[in-house]
Each structure stands twice: as C-alpha cells, then as structure tokens.
Amino acid sequence: MSVPASHLLPTTDGLEAITLKLPSYSFLIQHSSGRALLFDLGLRKDYWKHTGIPTRAPPGWQIDVDKNVSDILEENSVPLVDIEAVIWSHHHADHVGDVTMFPPSTKVIVGPKFKEHYVSPSLERTPDLNLLAENMKGGRELVEVSFDDAEKGLKVGPSRAYDYFGDGSFYLLDSPGHTYTHMAALARVTTSPEDASRNSFILMAGDTCHFPGQLRPTVNRSIPKECPTVQSLCPGVLLQRLLERSESGPLFGVDEKNVVDFIQAQKSVQRLQSFDSMDNVWVIVAHEQALLDNIEFFPANLNDWKEKGYSDKVRWGFLKALEK
C-alpha cells in the first residue's frame, strides 16, 4: 500500500508532501514438533471483496496485491492443510487476508473478548460480524485468547502473555489500543541451553504502531550520531523535530484517529519499546518499509537475523521513508 503520511501519523509540519510505502507482512511460524501457524495474512488479492472495505481506495492511497499468502505457501510446497491456525493480530483488512483459502481444519485465533467487541448479537449487523461469518464457513473454529487465565497471569517482559506451545518458544502478547483485541507475538528463533543470554527472538508487533518513528528513538535506543540518513534525507522541519527528540522519545506519537483507546495504545507502544531496547529481540512493525530492500523473504527464514545483522540494517530505515 502507498498512503499519505498524514493519514497514519499525528498532524506534524513536514508531512504534507510525504507518501509512505506500507508492505503488509505475514509470518510463518514452524515449531520443532512440525506444527505450523501463520501470524497475520496481509491483504487478500481481491481486497475489495473484504466486508467493510470501500470498492475504491481512499484518496491518495494505492493498493496492489499480486497473491494471497495461501498462493505463496502452495508455490513453495507448504500444504495448506498443515497450517494449524491463523492468528489475526486484529481484524482489519490488511491483516486478515483470505482465510477461506485454507481448509476448515485451520483455526482462527483472535484476541480476548473479540466476539464481545466486534460480533456481539447485541450489536447491529456490522462489517465485522459479516467478516466473521464469511471466514468461519465450514465449521472453522474461532479461538479467543484469554490473558487473564494464561498460566495464572504469565508475563513476558512488561507484557501479559500466552504461551502457545507451552514450551516458551512462541508467545502471544496483549497489545490493545489500535483495536480492543490487538495482539503481538514473540517467537524464540535461536536457543542456547548453556547461556540464556544467547537466545534470540523476533517480535511481530502488528499495528501496535503503524510506523517505526512512533517507536523510536528512545532513551534506551537513541539515534546514532553517525546515522547517514538523518542529515541527507529528512526534510528540515522533521529533522529539527528528530534532533530535539533524539534522546527523549519517538519522532511521532500515537495518532488518535487510528486507535480505539488512546491511553492503552500509548501503554502498548511503551511496552514495545522495552522489547526494542533489547539487543536479542528484533521488533518488526507490520508495515515497516525498510525490510523490503534489506532482508531475504520466504522461503528464506529469519532465524539467523542476529548473525546477519538484519535489525541493525533496518532499525533507522524509517528515516529514509521521510524523504520528500
């Protein structure tokens, strides 16, 4: 997707001439037992058929989808029947994809009280209710995660968590604010029984924030003074803002027009910043443009991200997206 920056970020001088490229990532999680999950499905190829989506993109938007995630899996010899579940970080069109391409045995996993917030019988018939009816055809199971009951209040770092496989390899993280039931996910991709500090993780942030400039910089993750992108690309007014905030807080705050709960959204971003300050956790925002030119995509895997230096390559790449 290509979207005017002002549609996603708080009103700020300097954004008027900037358009953001917004890829929409889907992650295949393969457990050592052979069980497989998908975290988010991106946009469906026929996205205009998604209930509640206008037949035309909003003014200034451009949307291009060549394939469904299901197409990509099949082209790479991953049987769809092997996918145990699709996890929706939340119910928006650029994350739910087209679950109907998967067999009914593939469950859909959603955040806590999803039905209460979006498909309660007491609500009028809404696009969200229609979305659920369409995707649950054939007896597909909808599973709501409950963080209240997850192992008597399990927490990973600052976040309430659900240990999906029960072995500490993959957690769903409570991350509300953008929507009421929004979730992120944390996967352990390397492990060292001798030295836990050598474990490495990937955190799939979904839409906890839409743009890495809402996450960085922070006190614990300040922008390097030698970063070449800053002086060469940033429009002057944004550059000044960045320099003023380089050691105190992110370049942009949470945008009130894109959240259902502003306070919860702020808290979720703050928790994400705690993970982002750790050198063995790579935080990936769902629409992060900088990944496109800096990492290998499926069928390559990301388990060796630390060895390849992927996080260092992309961490400040959002600055380039602010070029006029």
Q: pLDDT, tens digit, for every residue of 99-135?
A: 999 999 999 999 999 888 877 555 444 555 566 677 7
Give per-residue pLDDT as tens, 244-297. Answer: 766 678 889 999 999 999 999 999 999 999 999 999 999 999 999 999 989 999
Domains of the chain plus CATH, in order, are 2-322 (3.60.15.10)
Length of the chain: 324
Q: Is 163 exposed, middle or buried (0-12, 13-18, 19+ CB in 10 A)?
A: middle
The pLDDT of residue 136 is: 77
pTM of this structure? 0.91
At residue 226, the 3 state secondary structure works out as: coil
Cα distance between the two ends of the chain: 18
Give, for 201, the enclosing helix (H) or strand (E).
Answer: strand 200-204
Question: Chain-centre distance of CA 133, in angstroms?
Answer: 24
Q: For the stretch 44-71, what's the b/e string if a residue is b when 16 or more beta carbons lie within 10 angstroms of its beta carbon?
A: bbebeebeebeeeeeeeeebebeebbbe
- Chain-centre distance for alpha carbon 123: 28
Q: What is the mean pLDDT of residues 70-75?
A: 97
Burial class (CB in 10 A: 0-12, 13-18, 19+), 313: middle
Q: How confident is the model at residue 86 (pLDDT cuts 50, 70, 90)?
A: very high
Q: What are the beta bridge partners of residue 174? A: 183
For residue 299, what are its two tokens? 């069928």
What mean pLDDT, rounded, does the chain reach?
Answer: 87
* Lowest-pLDDT choice from 114-123, 134-143, 187-196, 303-312: 114-123
Q: Do the beta carbons of residue 5 and residue 210 sit within 8 Å?
A: no
Cβ–Cβ contacts within 10 Å for residue 84, how many? 17
Can you tell me whether residue 3 is helix, strand or coil? strand
Instruction: Decide: helix, strand or coil at residue 139.
Output: coil
3-state SS class at 309? coil
Note the pLDDT of residue 122.
52
Split at pLDDT 50, 70, 90, the class of 231 is low
218 has a pLDDT exceeding 80: yes
DSSP state at residue 321: G
